[in-house]
Amino acid sequence: MIDTKTLIWQDLAFSKKAPAIVQLWLDDSTSLTAKLKQKFPDFSVRVISQQQASPHAHEVSVINTSKTCTVREVELLGKGKVVVFARSLIPLSDDTKEILKIGSKPLGEVLFNNPNIKRGAMQITQIGNIWGRRSTFTIGKTPLLVSEFFMEELYA
């Protein structure tokens, strides 16, 4: 798991500093879930936690709330290995009631299969050899924040 508390996020243009193989994942606005299912026939999701918590300071300004959210942390697996770690902040509202019931279903399937859900701009971060991206998805009037961290196993 990654310590996401003190990350520094930058504009998507920062992804140009990443190796080319990483850029293919960072700078892709399509469904990560669909892309992973294509690469890994045995793709699965392992829910690490889904609980009420306060957003980190750097997350508050992105989703415009400091209220308690549901924080969902999952590992996306391919060939039995963790290839992506994801952290999602889901503010509690009428707009998000249904999404909180997905269990081990990939969040990406819900977000990309609903044309009414809009994706915001992406930001990039780097922790050693691990690159991450985040963006908001707006359901009704409620923004969710999805952060995805690409493990080196993804490129192996």
Give the pLDDT confidence of 66-122 residue by residue, as tens digits: 788 999 999 999 999 999 999 999 998 888 888 888 888 888 888 888 888 999 989
From 8-17, 18-27, 43-52, 80-89, the region with the lowest mean pLDDT: 8-17
Residue 32's pLDDT is 93
Q: Judging by beta carbons within 10 Å of its beta carbon (0-12, 13-18, 19+), is residue 120 exposed, middle or buried?
A: middle
Q: What is the pTM of this model?
A: 0.92
Residue 80 token pair:
């039995």
| CA 62 – CA 53 distance, rounded (Å) | 16
Q: Which of these, 141, 123, 137, lies nearest to 7 by C-alpha position? A: 123
What is residue 107's three-state secondary structure?
Answer: helix
Average pLDDT, the chain: 90
Residue 3 confidence class, pLDDT cut points 50, 70, 90: confident
Q: Is the pLDDT of residue 156 over 80?
A: no
Across the chain, where does the E strand assignment appear?
10-11, 44-53, 69-78, 81-91, 118-119, 123-127, 130-139, 142-150
